[in-house]
Structure 1
Amino acid sequence: MSIHAVSQHLGIRWETVKNIDREYLRSSLPALDPEKLNNLIHIGVDEVARAKRHDYMTVVYDLVSGHLIWVEHGRKAEVLISFFEQLSEETKAGIKAVSMDMGQSYQSAVRKMLPHADIVFDRFHVMQNYCILIKKERAKAFRNGSHDEKRMLKGTLFLLLKNAHKLDDRQSDRLDDLLESNKTLCVVYMLKEQLQAIWDEPDYETMVAALEAWCSLAKSTRVLSLSNFADVLLERKVGICNYGKYKLTNARVEAGNVSIGLLRRRARGVRDTDYFKLKIRQTSVPDTHSTFYPNIKLT
């Protein structure tokens, strides 16, 4: 139940309910103590927002166990560095790879504190950035299109973003008509399908070859946005292709972020950052007993 629902049901102040919940969480949640962590091999790092597009926090997950192991306010390099500083030298030495998005702050923190570890740029974030490119190209086509072209483009964004095998026959036919009518969108869409296939390569070397070939093809189209995107990928080639070594993604982190997003929507009006951190930690702890029947264990 939300804080508001409990407040209304019991007839007490919203702030009182929040404070009661905060003290309960402080006393009941298992401690996040980086000094006691051991046997870390692969970790995932990401940022989450307490409110939409501002007031960010850094979350760190053990990608082997899937557990949240740290959360702190802020998303600068110094925030992640403070986590690494609390780890023992043995634990730091055991971390082989760190999965993250392509932001600079977390990269610099890992390179400073874990110079031996490989950085793996998360596949989801690479494709998310490419989807932004698709949205911009479609918007440009709509702005510059004729009346008939705009009618053709209307309501087609999901067709361009969705994977081809997930479209039904009617949607596939409509997508075919759209791609046949707009050369640039056709090129951008076809390259999206080819870019996704790079992660199917079996190892680092073949991923590098596939990525370089894709970037060369993207540049040859003379579509400026594709050429610029190819330059970004080439600059981050090692981190992208390290997937071939470890097969790591931030899927567990993203699953946690979905839960945090639901929590954020339910907790509108919460300005207490420490309380929000506690709620994030709560989402990562699996329920072992029924809320309404404490004697019943959940399996």
Structure 2
Amino acid sequence: MLPPGRKQLQQQYKDHISDYQGWDQKDHAEDWMLYANNAGVHLSIDETALSNGELYTIVTNKAAKGRKGALVAMVKGTQADTVIEVLRKIPKRIRYKVKEVTLDMAANMNKIITRCFPKADKVIDRFHVQKLAYDAVQEIRIKYRWEALDQENDAIKTAKATGKPYEIELLENGDTLKQLLARSRYLLFKHRDKWTTSQLTRAKLLFERYPVINQAYNLSLKLGTIFRSYTSKELAYKPLAFWYDDVERSGLESFRTVAKSIEGHYIEILNFFNNRSTNASAESFNAKIKAFRSTSRGVRDISFFLFRLSKLYA
């Protein structure tokens, strides 16, 4: 809660100093804001939690690089039809000039872009695809961690029943088995070239005891290598097909799910190689909004908060 003096100053700024009362978006800002002239040929679309977990769909212009002119539209909620209704207020002559939009795999985002920017190539963010692979690796690690916890609990129970002391196994780096699995979380998100000395030791112990995790980790690396190493759709298509074959041979269900997701969106994923575009600018913009929100604590009027936001980015 703001101190009385600061609260009064803020009220003065809102009612008299700023041009908030005459803002042309004021009446509908909480539901949607639109700055059609900020739309460029390369856009991003994403969602962010703004206030009390309330989701907003945000469209940004990549050319503005997260600065003034970046905000094209901000719509409360993620329902495709609601967002489409707002974006179609942008004149068709502007919407049809959009050449490319980056997005994630969500069906609602795909529908929005298809309906509003029909001339644009849809590019699914490569980092979103890579994250699916990382999540598949973590799913396998967590499965083994729960098994290790169960085994330890069973061993403790048996020791108590037999009156024998429970002796926990310590690995050469000082980890227990359950600690090894817990502490390996972060190294599995990194390329092995970036492991520290302790992470290198931990990975060696992990992969010796759990070759399936090693197999999953290598599949995730191979997928990332495709995005980094190839410069065109034509060159990337063949190694991606080989990656599918590797997934099938692995028998890992979590990776089969990843492969099916990629297969269902392979055109939009391969569009990455047109301009190597990602949704990083949208993620960065979302982070800026959240940071701005954290510095605006005490501003309960969401419409006024959005007004201030628009002054920075619209």
Shorter-normalised TM-score: what interval?
A: 0.7 to 0.9
Q: Does 2:120 align with 1:113?
A: no
Q: Does 2:170 align with 1:170?
A: no
- % identical equivalent positions: 22
User: Post-superposition shift, 1:272?
Assistant: 3.6
Aligned residues: 275
Instruction: Tell me if the contact between 2:104 and 2:124 (Cα under 8 Å) persists in the aligned partners.
Output: yes
Give the equivalent residue in structure 1 for 2:95: 92
**1:237 alignment partner, one of 266, 273, 281:** 266
Q: Does 2:30 align with 1:36?
A: no
Gaps of 5+ in 1: 286-299
The residue correspondences of 1:69-218 to structure 2 (distance < 5 A) are: 69-145=72-148, 146-147=151-152, 148-200=176-228, 201-218=230-247
- Deviation digits for residues 260-296 of structure 1 (CA, Å, limit 9, x no counterpart): 22234445576543234334435537xxxxxxxxxxx
By relative contact order (CA 8 Å, sep 6+), the higher-ranking structure is 2
In 2: Cα distance, 1:226 partner to 1:71 partner: 35
Instruction: Tell me if the contact between 1:22 and 1:278 (Cα under 8 Å) persists in the aligned partners.
Output: no
Q: Which amino acid aligns with 1:222?
A: G
In 2: Cα distance, 1:125 partner to 1:110 partner: 18
Q: Which amino acid aligns with 1:42?
A: H
In 2: Cα distance, 1:259 partner to 1:29 partner: 22
**1:250 alignment partner, one of 279, 291, 308:** 279
Instruction: Tell me if the contact between 1:41 and 1:97 (Cα under 8 Å) persists in the aligned partners.
Output: yes
* TM-align CA RMSD: 2.7
Instruction: Tell me if the contact between 1:41 and 1:94 (Cα under 8 Å) persists in the aligned partners.
Output: yes
**2:249 alignment partner, one of 211, 220, 230:** 220
Give the equivalent residue in structure 1 for 2:50: 50
In 1: Cα distance, 2:51 partner to 2:213 partner: 34
Give SS of 2:122's match: strand
Q: Which amino acid aligns with 1:125?
A: H
- CA 1:272–1:198: 2 relative to 1, 3 Å: farther
- CA 1:17–1:138: 2 relative to 1, 3 Å: farther
Q: Which amino acid aligns with 2:46?
A: D
In 2: Cα distance, 1:241 partner to 1:199 partner: 9
Give the equivalent residue in structure 1 for 2:30: none
Q: Which amino acid aligns with 2:210?
A: N
In 1: Cα distance, 2:238 partner to 2:302 partner: 45
Instruction: Tell me if the contact between 1:212 and 1:234 (Cα under 8 Å) persists in the aligned partners.
Output: no
Q: Which amino acid aligns with 1:248?
A: S
Give SS of 1:12's match: helix
- The more displaced of 120-129 and 78-87 is 78-87
In 2: Cα distance, 1:42 partner to 1:211 partner: 26
User: Post-superposition shift, 1:246?
Assistant: 2.1
- CA 1:253–1:282: 2 relative to 1, 3 Å: farther
User: Post-superposition shift, 1:257?
Assistant: 1.3
- Deviation digits for residues 6-59 of structure 1 (CA, Å, limit 9, x no counterpart): x33xx3375x56545555373799987544346x2110000010146x311111
- Deviation digits for residues 114-169 of structure 1 (CA, Å, limit 9, x no counterpart): 23321100122222233322322211110112445323213221111123332222
In 2: Cα distance, 1:74 partner to 1:215 partner: 35
In 2: Cα distance, 1:60 partner to 1:129 partner: 23
In 2: Cα distance, 1:25 partner to 1:197 partner: 51
In 1: Cα distance, 2:189 partner to 2:83 partner: 33
- Deviation digits for residues 90-131 of structure 1 (CA, Å, limit 9, x no counterpart): 222211111011111110111123233211001222222333
Give SS of 1:191's match: helix
- Greater CA radius of gyration, 1 or 2? 2
